[in-house]
Structure 1
Amino acid sequence: MSRPSGSGTFPGPGERSALRGYVTVSFLFWLPAGLAMAPMVLLLTERGLTLAAVAAAYAAHSLTVAALELPTGGLADVIGRRTVLAGAGVLNACALALIGLGTAPWVIVLGMALMGAGRALSSGPAEAWYVDTVHAHAGPDAELRTGLARGAAASSGAVAIGVLLGGALPWLLGLGPDAGSALREFTSGLVLPLSVPLLLGVAVELLYVLHVLTALTEPPRPAATLRGVLRDVPGAIGAGLRLGTGDALVRRVLMTTGAAGTALAAVELLTPGRAAALTGSPESGAVLFAGLAAAGFVCSALGSRLAPLVARLAGDGERAVLVSLGVSTAGLLALGTTVSATGGLPAALAAAGYGLVYLGLGAAGPSENDLLHRRVDASGRATALSVQSLAQQLVGAAAGLAVGVLPAGPLPWLLGAVVLLAGTLLWARRAPAASAAVPAPASE
């Protein structure tokens, strides 16, 4: 039998404190990811890895995330959000240190795998903690969208800031005479200018772990035993999967998330080459893409902050998702229809389309998750968020393969637009009433 989401009270932060804690956790977790994003590939090639080896390292990250996404979501539902989030920070700190200092390929691959494990552990528990805390203080009908929007905005803003810092720090270190050579010599080749953003990320991860352990309080849970964990985690995973197939609204959220994954895969795979073609060289194209990526995350953050306003203007959460995804679809169509055109106006339309894709997805996310949390109780909340994340990753990966084999031109962009349009139209009709919430796993 399922537990009410807002059952019980416990000493801890009020709603405002919970919001501050959630926003801070979101920012601190994603800032290191942004710091590593810009220099990562260049650092790995500087260490002597071929592009094929770099691809293998990234595959180790992706496969680890996919393999652990559901088990770690179930683990957070069984042993608690704070423990899992702290573990994610520790793993990410170790991963960034190994990648930033590692010189052997196996060390770098191990670091990427640990980063994937940390990403899987972090997928859902912070948001689940925030929703549980608000429900405990204000009841299961408490307003969630504003807090979810601010957390999403903090995440996107952190990545945008991190990308800019991660790209600027190695460049600034290289301004002085022989600064890069001096750094290599002083550290016996362990630290390169490109390593510095990742090592800064290690310090941020440690601050993140400290914040999680001190600011994120939880109600007491029964002491977890290995036997209980091994039994309850599969039960939580199964409950999450059953919700995805048994509840029409949750199924709609998952399908929409997959459509968004397709759109993001198309944009992220196709934009670097388009930037290089526009500027005339891969190097200048990389600089342009870094700026576009930062601008995209800023647009995503802005969209997230606008999500409550969009919901009020649209009338409710479902219409807000429809409007927001419609904006993203229009942006992707603008990118597709201008790919072969030249001149200032097509370039401006393409830039506007790029921003609209991220603006709309940012605005849709909080409303989607607000709807999701109203169909899921505390016992399966982190698992449901992991199922959502897994849907985006798996569909996005499949879409990336499809986009990669299509001929260059408008077609790959339009494929993403068509899939996103299909996800948008899912919200043209109202979802049926709730069926059943995720049941709590059996306890010792």
Structure 2
Amino acid sequence: MTLRRKFWVLTGLRWLPTGMLIPIYALLPLERGLSIAELGAVVAVQGIVVLFLELPTGGFADSLGRKPLLVASSVFALASYGVFAFAHSLGWFMAASALAGVFRALDSGPLNAWYVDETIAAGAGETVATGISGAGTVTGLAIASGAVLGGGLVAWHPVAAFDALGTPYLVAAALTLFQITLTALLMHEDRSARAGKLFASILQTPRGILDGARIVAGNRALRALLAVGLFLGFGMVGFEQFMPIRLSEILGSADSAGTMMGPVSAAAWGISAAGAAAVPLLLRRWSMPAVSMVLVACQGAMVVVMGLVAGPLGLMAAFFATYAVHSALGAVYETMLHGEVDAGHRATVLSLASMVLQPAGSLGAVVLGLLATGASTGLALVVAGIVLALAAPLFLVKGRPSAGTEPAGRLLETAGASGGRAPELRERPKRASGSR
């Protein structure tokens, strides 16, 4: 098997379990007795854990090697799936969410970094872009396939003694065990030069945070873009977490919603990919700030519609429209971030952007959960949509590009090749070939 095929196989196995759990992630805790507000607290735990581990774990892949970090992240994923499958109280769901947070922090990049390192070492650097682009396609297909599989498992309910919504977690755990096995067999790397670097990486973390703060303080446009991340992180909770809840309320059944969310999520991701592909066409006629404003305003408006419609068809139509601009917005937003920093500081700024999204998402999960519990899920979606749309004017803030920065337009092709989404618009390596 070629290096590229190994990379694609491992990428698909990484994202297939995630796709399976998308349709039922919010429904399982509610079926087992948690309130929507408590669900918000569970979601917030994951974001807080990732926030605190994002920079401290940044150098672990360089210090320990890509393979050990990827295996470690998969072990935490396995533990998280197992606890989720059998959790029946707020405490246990929070514990599962914390384990998921460790998994997400460790998982952010070692597989991609390994592929880039090995490809360059083999003297085939020109094939890196093709491999990464193909991995983006594999990721989308894996998520879509997993969503269909997860919904099918809920409908099938093969283990009568176990609740239908918990079954996808058991299958996800089995797939993760298979992923760990294949990772051990397929990934090969020379870690002889990495010994002794872990402690140095930990010591460098405070300096990295200070460097990032200085960069942001000196660039008004960059401050505005990071502020955009606050609105995006808060508002995305609406359509990512509350769509299954809203659908279950309309249908009157969590199991029915879980079954429908499989194909609905798969279709949404397909539409999202098509939307991202249209970005170059939009930028031929309009500027990047103008396109960004329109996309985020449209996304916010569609989330508001999700909160106002009363039937399943209208809800799904608005959900599809939301995802039609989701990856496109992610591609443009990430490109604008790249355009405001030079190559020497790009990794730090991307880490800071990810850190901004996490607490904003945690806050959104708590606030919108309280709104849904105290008033209605529809109101929570309306608020989420309004917050998303409020980010639009921030794209107009202009700064003074520093020496060495690249025009954002020149970077668009790179962002699009990686699949369009920004981390928690799209999870991606925070550093290029030399990072986790």
TM-score under structure 2 length normalisation: 0.70
Which residue matches 2:177? 206
Q: CA deviation at 1:299?
A: 2.4
Q: Find the partner of 2:301 among 316, 327, 333.
A: 333
The amino acid of 1:358's aligned partner reads Y
1:331–1:355 contact (8 Å) kept in structure 2? no
Cα gap change, 1:241 to 1:197, in 2 (>3 Å): farther
Which residue matches 2:239? 267
Matches for 1:253-264 after TM superposition, within 5 Å = 253-264=225-236
1:154–1:301 contact (8 Å) kept in structure 2? no
The amino acid of 1:259's aligned partner reads F
Which residue matches 1:232? 204
SS across alignment from 1:180: coil
Instruction: Extract unaligned runs of 5+ from structure 2.
Output: 407-429, 432-436
Q: Greater CA deviation, 85-94 or 401-410?
A: 401-410
Encode CA deviations 1:346-384: one digit per residue, 9 max, x unaligned.
Answer: x65x64443232222212334544565674658973x54
The amino acid of 1:115's aligned partner reads A
Q: Find the partner of 1:418 among 370, 389, 393.
A: 389
Q: In structure 1, what is the Cα distance between the partners aligned to 2:288 and 2:14?
A: 28
Instruction: Extract unaligned runs of 5+ from structure 1.
Output: 1-12, 182-190, 440-444
Q: CA deviation at 1:43?
A: 4.8
SS across alignment from 2:56: helix
Which residue matches 2:146? 162
Q: In structure 2, what is the Cα distance between the partners aligned to 1:402 and 1:396?
A: 10
1:81–1:129 contact (8 Å) kept in structure 2? yes
Which residue matches 2:420? none
Q: In structure 1, what is the Cα distance between the partners aligned to 2:248 and 2:181?
A: 41
Q: Greater CA deviation, 21-30 or 66-75?
A: 21-30
2:44–2:362 contact (8 Å) kept in structure 1? no
Q: CA deviation at 1:32?
A: 1.5
The amino acid of 1:363's aligned partner reads A
Q: CA deviation at 1:101?
A: 4.8
Q: Find the partner of 1:354 among 290, 303, 319.
A: 319
Cα gap change, 1:371 to 1:40, in 2 (>3 Å): closer
Which residue matches 1:34? 19
TM-score under structure 1 length normalisation: 0.69
SS across alignment from 1:167: helix
2:237–2:365 contact (8 Å) kept in structure 1? yes
SS across alignment from 2:195: coil
Encode CA deviations 1:175-228: one digit per residue, 9 max, x unaligned.
Answer: xxxx514xxxxxxxxx65544322221232234345555347578644135532
1:325–1:361 contact (8 Å) kept in structure 2? no
Which residue matches 1:180? 160
Q: CA deviation at 1:120?
A: 1.4
Q: CA deviation at 1:92?
A: 0.7
The amino acid of 2:319's aligned partner reads Y
Matches for 1:250-399 after TM superposition, within 5 Å = 251=223, 253-268=225-240, 271-272=243-244, 274-276=246-248, 278-279=250-251, 284=256, 291-304=263-276, 306=277, 310-311=279-280, 314-315=283-284, 319=287, 322-323=290-291, 326-336=294-304, 340=308, 351-369=316-334, 375=341, 377=343, 381=347, 384-399=349-364
1:75–1:233 contact (8 Å) kept in structure 2? no
Q: In structure 1, what is the Cα distance between the partners aligned to 2:297 and 2:81?
A: 35
2:216–2:222 contact (8 Å) kept in structure 1? yes
Question: 2:103 aligned with 1:123, yes or no?
Answer: no
Q: In structure 1, what is the Cα distance between the partners aligned to 2:265 and 2:69?
A: 29
The amino acid of 1:199's aligned partner reads L
Q: In structure 2, what is the Cα distance between the partners aligned to 1:195 and 1:24?
A: 26
The amino acid of 2:267's aligned partner reads A
Cα gap change, 1:205 to 1:74, in 2 (>3 Å): same
Cα gap change, 1:216 to 1:368, in 2 (>3 Å): farther
Q: In structure 2, what is the Cα distance between the partners aligned to 1:221 and 1:325?
A: 47
Encode CA deviations 1:210-249: one digit per residue, 9 max, x unaligned.
Answer: 5555347578644135532431333344444444444566
Q: In structure 2, what is the Cα distance between the partners aligned to 1:315 and 1:132?
A: 35
Q: In structure 2, what is the Cα distance between the partners aligned to 1:414 and 1:170?
A: 29
Cα gap change, 1:117 to 1:356, in 2 (>3 Å): same
Q: CA deviation at 1:72?
A: 1.9
Encode CA deviations 1:61-94: one digit per residue, 9 max, x unaligned.
Answer: 3332222222222434554444333321121122
Q: In structure 1, what is the Cα distance between the partners aligned to 2:310 and 2:82?
A: 44
Q: CA deviation at 1:334?
A: 4.2
SS across alignment from 2:55: helix
Identical columns (%)? 25
RMSD after superposition? 4.6
Q: Find the partner of 1:114 among 88, 92, 99.
A: 99
The amino acid of 2:392's aligned partner reads L
1:327–1:356 contact (8 Å) kept in structure 2? no
2:83–2:93 contact (8 Å) kept in structure 1? yes
Report the count of equivalent residues: 399
The structure that has the greater radius of gyration is 1
Q: CA deviation at 1:119?
A: 0.9
Q: CA deviation at 1:402?
A: 5.3
